Amino acid sequence: MHELSLAANVVEIVSEHVRQAGGGRVAAVTLRLGQLSCVHKDTFEYSFAFVCAGTPLAGAELRIVIVPVVIFCPTCAKEVELPSLQRFVCPVCGTRTADIRQGRELEIESVELLEPSS
Amino acid sequence: MTAPRILEVRTRILKANDELARSMRREFERLGVLVVNLVSSPGTGKTTFLQHTLARFVQQGVPVAAVVGDLETDNDARRLAASGAPVRQIMTHGMCHLEADMVQQHLSGWDLASLHYLFIENVGNLVCPTSWDLGESVRLALLSVTEGEDKPLKYPGLFNTADLAALTKLDLAEACEFNRELARDNIDAVRPGMRIIETSAKTGAGMEEWMAVLVERRQALLASAGARS
């Protein structure tokens, strides 16, 4: 259940951005989660709804973009998407590589903010 | 109703933890302390492995300390303290992983400059500790022969963040029909090139090699810290 800790961090960061933007209600939050980030999507959604209560994020829609793992293959000298997390092997030439270029993301991409009604 | 405004946040969710961990690591390196974060599932034998590691260092007169995270009880801290090294328990009360600020709080009052090695035994869990940097220089993933050779394939996220792997309980390998080549290959498949040390805390097998790796890593840390100053 580390998703609860992550969700609490999201609420804290987004609330701060909302405050700096002059307040309002958050309609949606978009996250980028790498395939290697070990986040269980359903658990995260549940945790998120729970920690949003009573904050400007209450009722916000959660959009999760899953970021695939991309490795750099030294043999092909280029970046390639990894088809399986069980084998860090270039799908083109079979070279094993630990050079990960993408896939560990745990990021807040953007927030949709509804202005406070005046 | 007006259209929503889009705020481009582009911020790491664990920014606060990452920043604290980075400053802790800089401080550890400046003080010449090699910090090792031990991660594995529950029951892999982290505590026994660490107990033997601490006892060997204490015997050699090398200053070491450890903090150990558990959901409940201070049993592990008491076991580790039998080595003679200073040990503190972090009780997480249900939390499944350690975070950098928990480690920092539990180091207060210790003279870090006098230490050569500091070990952080994480909560036994192969998922949750993955994304939390604790300021360590070395993340050691442990896998016991009783768990099966395919654990690394089931938990690639965690094994992939490790710097070093240890197979534990090798004394039970035969009874478990453990295939060490397969286990080694599975670890290498999810973290190519990572060094793997085969150990048994009970018989002492592999412990010399492990201790030598630690000494080597600390020398490298001192050399790079020296080069920076």
State how far residue A2 is from chain B, nearest Cα, in angstroms: 5
By the 8 A CB rule, do A81 and A74 touch?
Answer: no
Least CB–CB distance from A108: residue in B6, B13, B161: B13
Q: Using one digit for the tens of pLDDT, what is the confidence trace for B33-86?
A: 999 999 999 999 999 999 999 999 999 999 999 999 999 999 999 999 999 999
State how far residue B53 is from chain A, nearest Cα, in angstroms: 29
pLDDT > 80? residue B227 = no
Chain B residues in contact with chain A using a Cβ-Cβ cutoff of 8 Å: 1-2, 4-17, 95-97, 99, 127-132, 153, 156-158, 160-161, 188-194
Residues of chain B with Cβ-Cβ distance to A113 below 8 Å are 4-7
Q: Using one digit for the tens of pLDDT, what is the confidence trace for B140-161?
A: 999 999 999 999 999 999 999 9
Residue B2 banded pLDDT, cuts 50, 70, 90: confident
- Do the strands B138-144 and A100-102 form a parallel or antiparallel pair, or are they unpaired? unpaired
By the 8 A CB rule, do B136 and B22 touch?
Answer: no
**pTM over 0.90, yes/no:** yes
Question: What's the pLDDT at B1?
Answer: 61
Q: Is the ipTM of this complex over 0.85?
A: yes
- What's the CA gap between B173 and B147, in Å, rounded? 11
Residues of chain B with Cβ-Cβ distance to A5 below 8 Å are 95, 97, 99
Backbone angles phi, psi at B223, to 5 degrees: -65, -45
DSSP symbols for A80-103: EE-S-TT--B-TTT--B---EEES
